Amino acid sequence: MYYIRMNAYAKINIGLDVINRRDDGYHNVSMIMQSVNLYDNLTISKNSSNKIIVRTNLPYLPTDKKNLVYSAAHLFKEVTGIKSGLLITLKKRIPVAAGLAGGSTDAAATLMGLNKLFNAGMTKDELSKLGVKLGADVPYCLMMGTALSEGIGDKLSPLPPMPKCHILLVKPNINVSTKFVYENLKLDDSTIHPNISLMQKAIESQNLLELTKHMGNLLETVTINHYPIINNIKDKMVELGAMTSLMSGSGPTVFGIFNNYKTAKDAFQYFRTSYQKYQVFLTKPYYPINHN
């Protein structure tokens, strides 16, 4: 085998709670993650040089070690001792710096792809230990599907697949810094936390209505104050028939959950035509079968 093609799936946080701030500055979180059927394409091919070359369709993305695809490949070669040169072509569809884990999922797909291409035989656990060195979301991106993420995002437990639905993603053309969001997060006795365990129960009983009632993202308390556009998008989605709408991660992407395809499609068309500078996608949860 000389080359391999991989899809790298985006994620949304259908629930995001922050428990506390630790002395080292990190935050303990409790999040429910869900992969969605929006993905980047990676093609990884071997060549006779000793170099890693990354090409991408987005001219503003770095192609050196600042690209997570490059650093994942570099780390993989270092750990396995594989000398072969690599050409990695990355076609980005996932919006960049959007709260959709675009870079992390590319890193995860690179690790999985290289493991297959070179028959390196690394286990999921071994890949995960490598992945966490590249970013806190990488182990989840290796696992995919519906999962509970705790600790600083490093403790992962698979959950039953979330109920089927349609998901509208809207990324406004603003930049939100994750660092800024966490630094401005205020946690005190009056903070209203989303109830992640009720969400888990709703997933176990496959009750989409109950699940959407409990969805919440604590980081919205910061972003909505600074970027009211996020709230406007959320309100509009609900007005257009979403069961609920929420910001993903530290934003700025907003997603809406729909149980009816026609309603979701109409809402998609509305955002596509009214906000041409926004990135708008109509997608669904992605449930991996067996992606070894």
CB of 239: closest distance to ligand ATP in angstroms?
A: 26
Q: How far is the CB of 103 from ligand ATP (least distance, A)?
A: 3
The answer for residues whose C-beta is within 8 angstroms of residue 65's C-beta and 6 or more apart is 71, 74
Q: What is d(CA 239, CA 33) in angstroms, rounded to the nearest whole number?
A: 25
Element housing 147 (H / E) = strand 146-150
13 vs 200, beta carbon nearer ligand ATP: 13
The active-site residue, picked from 17, 40, 106, 137, is 137
Nearer to ligand ATP, 4 or 240 (CB): 4
Ramachandran sector of residue 251 (left: φ over 0; alpha: ψ -120 to 50; beta: rest): left
Applying CB under 6 A, does 44 fall inside the site for ligand ATP?
A: no
Which amino acid, residue 176? V
Note the maximum CA span of the chain.
61
113 is an interface residue for ligand ATP by CB under 6 A? no
Quick one: which segment of 15-23, 59-67, 193-201, 238-246 binds ligand ATP (CB under 6 A)?
59-67
* Shortest distance, position 140 Cβ to ligand ATP, whole Å: 9
**If binding is defined by CB under 6 A, does position 103 make contact with ligand ATP?**
yes
Q: By the 8 A CB rule, do 217 and 99 touch? A: no
Clarify whether 51 is annotated catalytic: no
| Contact range with ligand ATP by CB under 6 A, out of 61-69, 126-134, 234-242, 278-286 | 61-69
Q: Under the criterion CB under 6 A, does residue 68 sit at the interface with ligand ATP? A: yes
Q: How far apart are alpha carbons 215 and 198 in whole angstroms?
A: 9
Among 102, 113, 131, 216, binds ligand ATP (CB under 6 A): 102
Q: Give dist(CA 277, CA 265) in Å, integer.
A: 19
In whole angstroms, give the CA distance from residue 266 to residue 61: 32
Q: How far is the CB of 198 from ligand ATP (least distance, A)?
A: 24
Rounded to whole angstroms, how far apart are CA atoms 40 and 93? 5
Per the annotation, the verdict on 137 as an active-site residue is: yes
How long a stretch of residues is the chain? Answer: 292
Give the nearer residue to ligand ATP in terms of CB position, either 103 or 172.
103
Known catalytic residues are 11, 137
**What residue ranges bind ligand ATP (CB under 6 A)?**
61-62, 66-69, 96-104, 106, 137, 178, 249-250
